[in-house]
Amino acid sequence: MAEITTNIKPKLRIIDMTKRYKNGDGVEHINLDVYPGELVTMLGPSGCGKTTILRTIGGFLDIDDGDITIDGQSIALLSPEKRPTAMVFQSYNLWPHMSIYENLAFGMKLRKVPKEQMNQQILEMLKMVGMIGSEKKFPSQLSGGQQQRIAIARSLLLKPEVLLLDEPFSALDAKIRVQMREELIRIQQELGITVVFVTHDQEEAMAISHRIVVMNKGVFEQVGTPIEIYDHPVTRFVADFIGEMNFMETPDGIRAVRPESLSLSRGSQGDLHGHIRTIMVLGHYAEVNVQCGDAVIKCNVQRDQMAGWAVGDEVSLSYTKEQFFATETVE
Protein backbone atom coordinates (compact mmCIF):
# COMPACT_ATOMS: atom_id res chain seq x y z
CA MET A 1 0.00 0.00 0.00
CA ALA A 2 1.07 3.61 -0.54
CA GLU A 3 2.89 5.31 2.31
CA ILE A 4 1.21 8.06 4.30
CA THR A 5 3.09 11.36 4.39
CA THR A 6 3.82 12.59 7.90
CA ASN A 7 4.08 16.36 7.39
CA ILE A 8 0.66 16.72 9.04
CA LYS A 9 -0.51 16.39 12.63
CA PRO A 10 -1.20 12.89 13.96
CA LYS A 11 -4.81 11.78 14.20
CA LEU A 12 -4.02 9.47 17.13
CA ARG A 13 -1.19 9.82 19.64
CA ILE A 14 -0.18 7.39 22.35
CA ILE A 15 2.13 9.28 24.70
CA ASP A 16 4.35 7.42 27.19
CA MET A 17 1.40 5.16 27.99
CA THR A 18 1.61 2.43 30.63
CA LYS A 19 -0.94 -0.25 31.44
CA ARG A 20 -0.05 -2.94 33.99
CA TYR A 21 -2.10 -5.92 35.11
CA LYS A 22 -2.07 -7.28 38.65
CA ASN A 23 0.17 -10.17 37.57
CA GLY A 24 2.81 -7.73 36.32
CA ASP A 25 2.06 -8.17 32.60
CA GLY A 26 1.14 -5.28 30.36
CA VAL A 27 2.92 -2.52 28.46
CA GLU A 28 5.08 0.40 29.58
CA HIS A 29 6.16 3.72 28.04
CA ILE A 30 4.34 3.17 24.74
CA ASN A 31 4.70 5.98 22.20
CA LEU A 32 3.04 5.92 18.78
CA ASP A 33 1.69 8.47 16.29
CA VAL A 34 -0.93 7.40 13.74
CA TYR A 35 -1.70 9.82 10.92
CA PRO A 36 -5.02 10.66 9.22
CA GLY A 37 -6.01 8.02 6.67
CA GLU A 38 -3.31 5.62 7.83
CA LEU A 39 -3.78 1.91 8.49
CA VAL A 40 -1.36 0.83 11.21
CA THR A 41 -1.13 -2.80 12.28
CA MET A 42 -0.01 -4.00 15.71
CA LEU A 43 1.66 -7.35 14.98
CA GLY A 44 3.10 -9.89 17.35
CA PRO A 45 2.62 -13.26 19.06
CA SER A 46 -0.12 -13.91 21.60
CA GLY A 47 0.49 -12.11 24.88
CA CYS A 48 2.81 -9.45 23.44
CA GLY A 49 0.53 -6.56 24.44
CA LYS A 50 -1.00 -5.56 21.11
CA THR A 51 -4.63 -6.09 22.17
CA THR A 52 -3.92 -4.33 25.47
CA ILE A 53 -2.89 -1.22 23.53
CA LEU A 54 -5.95 -1.44 21.27
CA ARG A 55 -8.29 -1.74 24.24
CA THR A 56 -6.74 1.27 25.95
CA ILE A 57 -7.40 3.30 22.79
CA GLY A 58 -11.01 2.13 22.76
CA GLY A 59 -11.51 2.80 26.47
CA PHE A 60 -12.10 -0.81 27.45
CA LEU A 61 -9.01 -0.68 29.68
CA ASP A 62 -7.93 2.24 31.85
CA ILE A 63 -4.32 3.38 31.53
CA ASP A 64 -2.03 3.71 34.55
CA ASP A 65 0.14 6.49 33.16
CA GLY A 66 0.67 8.63 30.08
CA ASP A 67 -2.01 9.87 27.70
CA ILE A 68 -3.94 9.01 24.53
CA THR A 69 -5.17 11.80 22.26
CA ILE A 70 -7.26 12.05 19.10
CA ASP A 71 -6.99 15.29 17.12
CA GLY A 72 -5.00 16.75 19.99
CA GLN A 73 -7.71 16.12 22.62
CA SER A 74 -7.12 13.66 25.46
CA ILE A 75 -9.53 10.71 25.50
CA ALA A 76 -7.86 8.85 28.38
CA LEU A 77 -10.66 9.56 30.88
CA LEU A 78 -13.59 9.05 28.51
CA SER A 79 -15.80 5.95 28.56
CA PRO A 80 -15.85 3.84 25.36
CA GLU A 81 -19.18 5.22 24.14
CA LYS A 82 -17.95 8.80 24.50
CA ARG A 83 -14.73 8.26 22.53
CA PRO A 84 -14.54 9.05 18.81
CA THR A 85 -13.60 5.43 18.17
CA ALA A 86 -15.40 2.23 17.14
CA MET A 87 -14.17 -1.30 17.68
CA VAL A 88 -14.70 -4.46 15.62
CA PHE A 89 -14.09 -7.70 17.50
CA GLN A 90 -13.07 -11.17 16.35
CA SER A 91 -16.42 -12.57 17.51
CA TYR A 92 -18.55 -10.05 15.51
CA ASN A 93 -20.67 -9.15 18.62
CA LEU A 94 -23.90 -8.82 16.62
CA TRP A 95 -27.17 -9.01 18.58
CA PRO A 96 -28.59 -12.46 17.63
CA HIS A 97 -32.22 -11.47 18.36
CA MET A 98 -32.05 -8.37 16.13
CA SER A 99 -32.29 -8.19 12.35
CA ILE A 100 -29.32 -6.85 10.40
CA TYR A 101 -31.13 -3.52 10.01
CA GLU A 102 -31.77 -3.36 13.77
CA ASN A 103 -28.14 -4.20 14.51
CA LEU A 104 -26.98 -1.39 12.25
CA ALA A 105 -29.54 1.09 13.58
CA PHE A 106 -28.91 0.42 17.29
CA GLY A 107 -26.01 2.82 17.83
CA MET A 108 -27.51 5.43 15.54
CA LYS A 109 -30.75 5.42 17.55
CA LEU A 110 -28.76 6.03 20.73
CA ARG A 111 -27.24 9.05 19.01
CA LYS A 112 -30.73 10.19 17.99
CA VAL A 113 -30.02 10.19 14.25
CA PRO A 114 -33.23 11.13 12.36
CA LYS A 115 -34.95 8.06 10.88
CA GLU A 116 -34.83 9.17 7.24
CA GLN A 117 -31.12 9.98 7.53
CA MET A 118 -30.53 6.71 9.34
CA ASN A 119 -32.25 4.67 6.62
CA GLN A 120 -30.23 6.36 3.89
CA GLN A 121 -26.91 5.87 5.69
CA ILE A 122 -27.65 2.21 6.45
CA LEU A 123 -28.46 1.50 2.79
CA GLU A 124 -25.31 3.31 1.66
CA MET A 125 -23.19 1.34 4.11
CA LEU A 126 -24.76 -2.00 3.14
CA LYS A 127 -23.93 -1.18 -0.46
CA MET A 128 -20.35 -0.34 0.48
CA VAL A 129 -19.82 -3.67 2.23
CA GLY A 130 -21.68 -5.65 -0.45
CA MET A 131 -24.61 -6.68 1.76
CA ILE A 132 -27.62 -5.00 0.13
CA GLY A 133 -30.72 -7.17 0.63
CA SER A 134 -29.70 -8.55 4.03
CA GLU A 135 -31.62 -5.97 6.10
CA LYS A 136 -34.36 -8.35 7.28
CA LYS A 137 -32.09 -11.33 7.91
CA PHE A 138 -30.73 -12.32 11.30
CA PRO A 139 -27.03 -12.91 12.10
CA SER A 140 -27.54 -16.69 12.27
CA GLN A 141 -28.60 -16.63 8.60
CA LEU A 142 -25.27 -15.13 7.50
CA SER A 143 -21.84 -16.70 7.02
CA GLY A 144 -18.93 -15.66 9.22
CA GLY A 145 -17.54 -13.38 6.52
CA GLN A 146 -20.95 -11.75 5.99
CA GLN A 147 -21.38 -11.20 9.74
CA GLN A 148 -17.99 -9.53 9.91
CA ARG A 149 -18.96 -7.24 7.02
CA ILE A 150 -22.02 -6.19 9.03
CA ALA A 151 -19.90 -5.68 12.16
CA ILE A 152 -17.56 -3.40 10.20
CA ALA A 153 -20.55 -1.56 8.68
CA ARG A 154 -22.06 -1.04 12.13
CA SER A 155 -18.82 0.50 13.39
CA LEU A 156 -18.43 2.74 10.34
CA LEU A 157 -22.00 4.05 10.70
CA LEU A 158 -20.89 5.64 13.98
CA LYS A 159 -18.46 7.75 11.93
CA PRO A 160 -15.47 7.15 14.20
CA GLU A 161 -12.32 9.22 13.94
CA VAL A 162 -10.35 6.00 14.48
CA LEU A 163 -11.57 2.47 13.66
CA LEU A 164 -10.14 -0.28 15.88
CA LEU A 165 -10.00 -3.88 14.61
CA ASP A 166 -9.07 -6.69 17.01
CA GLU A 167 -8.09 -9.77 14.94
CA PRO A 168 -11.36 -9.41 13.00
CA PHE A 169 -10.66 -12.11 10.40
CA SER A 170 -8.94 -14.80 12.46
CA ALA A 171 -12.10 -16.91 12.85
CA LEU A 172 -12.66 -17.08 9.08
CA ASP A 173 -11.30 -19.72 6.72
CA ALA A 174 -8.27 -18.83 4.60
CA LYS A 175 -10.06 -17.93 1.35
CA ILE A 176 -12.68 -15.74 3.04
CA ARG A 177 -9.95 -14.11 5.13
CA VAL A 178 -8.11 -13.00 1.99
CA GLN A 179 -11.35 -11.63 0.52
CA MET A 180 -12.07 -9.68 3.70
CA ARG A 181 -8.58 -8.17 3.67
CA GLU A 182 -9.21 -6.91 0.15
CA GLU A 183 -12.58 -5.50 1.20
CA LEU A 184 -11.06 -3.74 4.19
CA ILE A 185 -8.38 -2.11 2.01
CA ARG A 186 -11.06 -0.95 -0.46
CA ILE A 187 -13.32 0.50 2.26
CA GLN A 188 -10.43 2.14 4.11
CA GLN A 189 -9.15 3.80 0.95
CA GLU A 190 -12.64 4.85 -0.18
CA LEU A 191 -13.47 6.47 3.17
CA GLY A 192 -9.96 7.63 4.02
CA ILE A 193 -10.54 6.49 7.59
CA THR A 194 -7.76 6.03 10.16
CA VAL A 195 -7.45 2.39 11.27
CA VAL A 196 -5.54 0.55 13.99
CA PHE A 197 -5.55 -3.19 13.27
CA VAL A 198 -4.37 -6.00 15.55
CA THR A 199 -3.23 -9.39 14.27
CA HIS A 200 -0.74 -12.18 14.94
CA ASP A 201 -0.73 -13.06 11.21
CA GLN A 202 2.36 -11.52 9.58
CA GLU A 203 1.06 -12.18 6.05
CA GLU A 204 -2.11 -10.27 6.88
CA ALA A 205 -0.12 -7.37 8.31
CA MET A 206 2.13 -7.22 5.24
CA ALA A 207 -0.88 -7.22 2.90
CA ILE A 208 -2.99 -4.43 4.39
CA SER A 209 -0.74 -2.01 6.30
CA HIS A 210 0.77 1.38 5.64
CA ARG A 211 2.96 0.77 8.68
CA ILE A 212 3.51 -2.19 10.99
CA VAL A 213 4.37 -2.13 14.69
CA VAL A 214 6.14 -5.41 15.49
CA MET A 215 5.73 -6.21 19.20
CA ASN A 216 7.40 -8.71 21.51
CA LYS A 217 6.84 -9.01 25.27
CA GLY A 218 5.28 -5.57 25.59
CA VAL A 219 8.00 -3.79 23.61
CA PHE A 220 8.06 -2.26 20.12
CA GLU A 221 10.76 -4.19 18.27
CA GLN A 222 10.37 -2.15 15.07
CA VAL A 223 7.97 0.32 13.46
CA GLY A 224 8.05 0.76 9.70
CA THR A 225 6.45 0.11 6.33
CA PRO A 226 5.98 -3.54 5.29
CA ILE A 227 8.94 -3.24 2.90
CA GLU A 228 11.18 -1.72 5.60
CA ILE A 229 10.20 -4.42 8.08
CA TYR A 230 10.77 -7.23 5.57
CA ASP A 231 13.95 -5.98 3.90
CA HIS A 232 15.63 -4.34 6.90
CA PRO A 233 14.64 -6.05 10.16
CA VAL A 234 16.48 -4.37 13.03
CA THR A 235 16.42 -7.34 15.44
CA ARG A 236 16.61 -11.07 15.07
CA PHE A 237 13.09 -11.37 16.48
CA VAL A 238 11.69 -9.24 13.63
CA ALA A 239 13.77 -11.13 11.05
CA ASP A 240 12.40 -14.43 12.35
CA PHE A 241 8.80 -13.30 12.84
CA ILE A 242 8.29 -11.63 9.43
CA GLY A 243 8.50 -14.05 6.53
CA GLU A 244 10.96 -16.94 6.45
CA MET A 245 14.65 -16.61 7.26
CA ASN A 246 17.70 -18.86 7.40
CA PHE A 247 19.97 -18.15 10.38
CA MET A 248 23.60 -19.24 10.19
CA GLU A 249 26.04 -18.92 13.07
CA THR A 250 29.42 -17.28 12.46
CA PRO A 251 32.22 -16.49 14.92
CA ASP A 252 30.96 -12.90 15.17
CA GLY A 253 27.20 -13.44 15.32
CA ILE A 254 24.32 -14.55 13.14
CA ARG A 255 24.01 -14.25 9.36
CA ALA A 256 20.40 -14.16 8.15
CA VAL A 257 19.39 -14.88 4.54
CA ARG A 258 15.88 -15.14 3.15
CA PRO A 259 15.06 -18.24 1.04
CA GLU A 260 14.37 -16.16 -2.08
CA SER A 261 17.83 -14.56 -1.83
CA LEU A 262 19.52 -17.94 -2.40
CA SER A 263 20.34 -19.61 -5.71
CA LEU A 264 21.47 -23.16 -6.50
CA SER A 265 24.38 -24.18 -8.69
CA ARG A 266 26.61 -27.19 -9.34
CA GLY A 267 30.31 -27.22 -8.59
CA SER A 268 32.25 -25.52 -5.80
CA GLN A 269 31.54 -21.87 -6.66
CA GLY A 270 29.25 -20.48 -3.99
CA ASP A 271 28.91 -19.25 -0.42
CA LEU A 272 27.66 -22.55 1.03
CA HIS A 273 27.94 -26.21 0.03
CA GLY A 274 25.81 -29.24 0.77
CA HIS A 275 23.35 -31.73 -0.68
CA ILE A 276 19.65 -31.52 -1.46
CA ARG A 277 17.61 -32.99 1.36
CA THR A 278 14.04 -32.38 0.10
CA ILE A 279 12.27 -30.75 -2.85
CA MET A 280 8.68 -29.55 -2.46
CA VAL A 281 6.89 -27.98 -5.42
CA LEU A 282 4.58 -25.23 -4.16
CA GLY A 283 2.83 -23.83 -7.20
CA HIS A 284 5.08 -21.55 -9.24
CA TYR A 285 8.16 -22.20 -7.10
CA ALA A 286 9.88 -25.08 -5.34
CA GLU A 287 11.08 -25.08 -1.76
CA VAL A 288 14.45 -26.80 -1.65
CA ASN A 289 16.03 -27.77 1.67
CA VAL A 290 19.80 -28.19 1.53
CA GLN A 291 21.84 -29.93 4.24
CA CYS A 292 24.94 -27.80 4.85
CA GLY A 293 26.89 -29.47 7.64
CA ASP A 294 24.65 -29.43 10.73
CA ALA A 295 22.34 -26.76 9.29
CA VAL A 296 19.39 -27.15 6.94
CA ILE A 297 19.13 -24.16 4.59
CA LYS A 298 15.83 -23.41 2.87
CA CYS A 299 15.80 -21.77 -0.57
CA ASN A 300 12.97 -20.90 -2.94
CA VAL A 301 13.65 -21.67 -6.59
CA GLN A 302 11.48 -20.99 -9.66
CA ARG A 303 9.85 -24.25 -10.64
CA ASP A 304 11.17 -24.17 -14.22
CA GLN A 305 14.72 -23.93 -12.84
CA MET A 306 14.39 -27.23 -10.96
CA ALA A 307 14.64 -29.47 -14.03
CA GLY A 308 17.47 -31.94 -13.56
CA TRP A 309 17.78 -31.50 -9.79
CA ALA A 310 17.12 -34.45 -7.46
CA VAL A 311 17.31 -35.29 -3.78
CA GLY A 312 20.91 -36.13 -2.83
CA ASP A 313 22.54 -33.90 -5.47
CA GLU A 314 25.62 -31.97 -4.33
CA VAL A 315 24.98 -28.24 -4.66
CA SER A 316 26.46 -24.85 -3.95
CA LEU A 317 24.37 -21.97 -2.59
CA SER A 318 24.98 -18.30 -3.32
CA TYR A 319 23.11 -15.40 -1.74
CA THR A 320 22.47 -11.92 -3.07
CA LYS A 321 21.32 -10.27 0.15
CA GLU A 322 22.04 -10.92 3.81
CA GLN A 323 21.37 -9.44 7.23
CA PHE A 324 23.84 -9.64 10.09
CA PHE A 325 23.07 -9.62 13.80
CA ALA A 326 26.00 -9.19 16.17
CA THR A 327 26.33 -11.72 18.97
CA GLU A 328 25.35 -9.27 21.72
CA THR A 329 21.99 -8.52 20.02
CA VAL A 330 20.99 -12.15 19.59
CA GLU A 331 18.26 -13.18 22.02
What is the structure's pLDDT at 176?
87
Per-residue CA distances from 21 to 24, 52, 65 (Å)? 5, 10, 13
Helix (H, G, I), strand (E, B) or coil at 282: strand
Residue 266's closest CA among 331, 319, 313, 298? Answer: 313
What is the structure's pLDDT at 89?
86
Beta carbons within 10 angstroms of residue 102's beta carbon: 15
Helix (H) or strand (E) holding 128: helix 115-128
**For the sheet containing 26-34, what is the strand order?**
26-34, 12-20, 65-70, 73-74
The tens digit of pLDDT for each residue in 217-256 reads: 999 999 999 999 999 999 999 999 999 999 998 888 899 9
How far apart CA 104 and CA 102 sit, in angstroms, is 5
The 3 state secondary structure assigned to 80-106 is HHHCCEEEECCCCCCCCCCCHHHHHHH
Asked if 93 and 165 count as a contact pair (C-beta separation under 8 A), the reply is no
- Which residues have CB under 8 Å from 292's CB, separation 6+? 272, 273, 274, 317
What is the structure's pLDDT at 307?
81
| CB-neighbour burial class of residue 150 (10 A; exposed 0-12, middle 13-18, buried 19+) | buried
Beta carbons within 10 angstroms of residue 129's beta carbon: 21
Domain ranges for the chain, please list them.
Answer: 12-237, 250-329
Asked if 255 and 248 count as a contact pair (C-beta separation under 8 A), the reply is yes
Asked if 273 and 292 count as a contact pair (C-beta separation under 8 A), the reply is yes
Is the Cα torsion angle 168, 172, 183, 158 positive or negative in sign?
negative
What is the structure's pLDDT at 329?
45
Residue 325's closest CA among 234, 258, 219, 230? Answer: 234
The tens digit of pLDDT for each residue in 148-158 reads: 889 999 999 98
Low-confidence stretches of the chain (pLDDT beneath 50): 329-331
Helix (H, G, I), strand (E, B) or coil at 177: helix
What is the structure's pLDDT at 5?
52
CATH topology for 250-329 is: OB fold (Dihydrolipoamide Acetyltransferase, E2P) (2.40.50)
Residue 49's closest CA among 223, 221, 166, 217? Answer: 217
Beta carbons within 10 angstroms of residue 111's beta carbon: 11
Written out in words, the top-level CATH class of the domain with range 12-237 is: alpha beta
| Topology match between the domains 12-237 and 250-329 | no
